[in-house]
Structure 1
């Protein structure tokens, strides 16, 4: 199992379509719980579960996210400490949605789009 620390990487951790149906369901559930969390403990537990769903053990404070690109069908799941990400949206609870570095290079989206 991979461990994600604070060191940024440019490669995605995995691609959503490479996950089994069960892993996709577990990841979707955990990411939804993280995005809807209204306290740090709930968010961190959900983020930990999202990592486990894709076979990654997250270091405390590490975060992962699926690409939220609205211009393509990118399925990258990446460490949010990766360089070159674009923040597309911030939820009411302060959770950020990102466009991955590859999409940001190829067809950047700004929050105003």
Structure 2
């Protein structure tokens, strides 16, 4: 008698709602993002991003970098910073590492802050 082999599809969370994270995870996320933004070297930045990805549960991040949406509408979405549909909301200040991007949903729904 043959046995059926079932593979379980893993849920792929390509975005996470910040507000759905437990309060202590939100606090930890905020601390790690601030450290990443001010990190002085690439190895530390990579380690912080790896930790951020792990605590949020986002999967499928292409280049190990996630961001919280920087849209003026105060969108709570955390997403892959390399998403082709994300839009720059403002130029990154010198001395900081994190870009300021709108998530793809906001990029579709709202004007482009640096162009409109």
Instruction: Give the TM-score category using the shorter length.
Output: 0.7 to 0.9
The number of aligned residues is 105
Unaligned segments of structure 1, at least 5 residues: 5-10
How do 1:1-113 residues align onto structure 2 when only pairs under 5 Å count? Answer: 12-56=14-58, 61-70=63-72, 72-88=73-89, 89-92=91-94, 93-111=96-114
Question: C-alpha offsets along residues 25-68 of structure 1, whole Å, 9 cap, x if unaligned?
Answer: 11111111111112111211111121122124676842110000
Q: State the partner residue of 2:3.
A: none
- Greater relative contact order (CA < 8 Å, ≥ 6 in sequence): 1
TM-score (norm 2): 0.75
Q: Which has the larger radius of gyration?
A: 2
The structure that is strand-richer by fraction is 1
**Root-mean-square deviation over aligned CA pairs:** 2.7
How far did residue 100 of structure 1 move? 0.8
Q: Cα 1:91–1:53, aligned 2, differ >3 Å: closer, same or farther?
A: farther
Unaligned segments of structure 2, at least 5 residues: 1-9
Whether the 8 Å contact between 1:13 and 1:79 is mirrored in structure 2 is yes
